[in-house]
């Protein structure tokens, strides 16, 4: 992986680590917060390249529509649903209510919250 790609992935992973338990964020939202405007596909790429055993809560990232991106019934869909339900996120027909569960960090949180990027993976 190129250095610029690694840096971008690290920013994306750090942003995802900041999503609190019980909340979700869209691919586009993560890209925007990570400083990659219109970079939703980059977020998907970064998630596909997570190191084995990573602590990044990948399952908290969903489509802007509230849908889980994996095919319904697939192992990945089942795993993501299970993890989100364990955190108290309600899923109905593969969809999450973004009005209720969408992570909406305020400016102070974005500027002053210690980032999880320094945590060990």
Q: Given a cut of 50, is residue 22 above it in pLDDT? A: yes
Q: Which comes out higher in pLDDT, residue 94 or 58?
A: 58
In the structure, what pLDDT confidence band is assigned to residue 110 with cuts at 50, 70 and 90? low
Domain residue limits at 72 = 3-112
- Residue 103 counted as domain residue: yes
- Residue 57 counted as domain residue: yes
Q: b or e along 29-41 (b: 16 or more beta carbons within 10 Å of the residue's beta carbon)? A: bbbbbbebeebbe
- Residue 119 counted as domain residue: no
- Give me the CATH number covering residue 24: 1.10.10.10
Output the pTM of the full model.
Answer: 0.85
pLDDT digits over 61-109, tens only? 999 999 999 999 999 999 999 999 999 999 999 899 999 999 998 777 6
Instruction: Give me the number of domains the chain comprises.
Output: 1
- Residue 121 counted as domain residue: no
In the structure, what pLDDT confidence band is assigned to residue 54 with cuts at 50, 70 and 90? very high
Q: Average pLDDT in the 42-61 region?
A: 95
- Residue 94 counted as domain residue: yes
Q: Given a cut of 80, is residue 19 above it in pLDDT? A: yes
Q: Cβ-count burial of 96 within 10 angstroms (0-12 exposed, 13-18 middle, 19+ buried)? A: buried
Residue 38: what pLDDT? 92
- Residue 73 counted as domain residue: yes
- Residue 34 counted as domain residue: yes
Mean pLDDT, the chain, whole residue set = 89
Q: How far is Cα 66 from Cα 72, in angstroms, rounded to an integer?
A: 14
- Residue 117 counted as domain residue: no
């Amino acid at each position: 992986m190129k250095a610029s790609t690694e840096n971008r992935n690290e920013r994306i992973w750090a942003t995802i680590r900041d999503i609190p338990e019980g909340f979700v964020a869209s691919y586009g939202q993560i890209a925007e917060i990570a400083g990659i405007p219109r970079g939703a596909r980059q977020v998907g790429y970064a998630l596909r390249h997570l190191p084995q055993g990573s602590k990044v809560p990948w399952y908290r990232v969903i489509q802007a529509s509230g849908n889980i991106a994996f095919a319904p019934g697939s192992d990945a869909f089942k795993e993501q649903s299970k993890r989100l339900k364990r955190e108290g996120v309600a899923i109905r027909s593969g969809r999450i209510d973004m009005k209720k569960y969408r992570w909406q960090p305020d400016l102070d949180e974005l500027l002053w919250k210690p980032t999880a990027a320094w945590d060990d993976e």
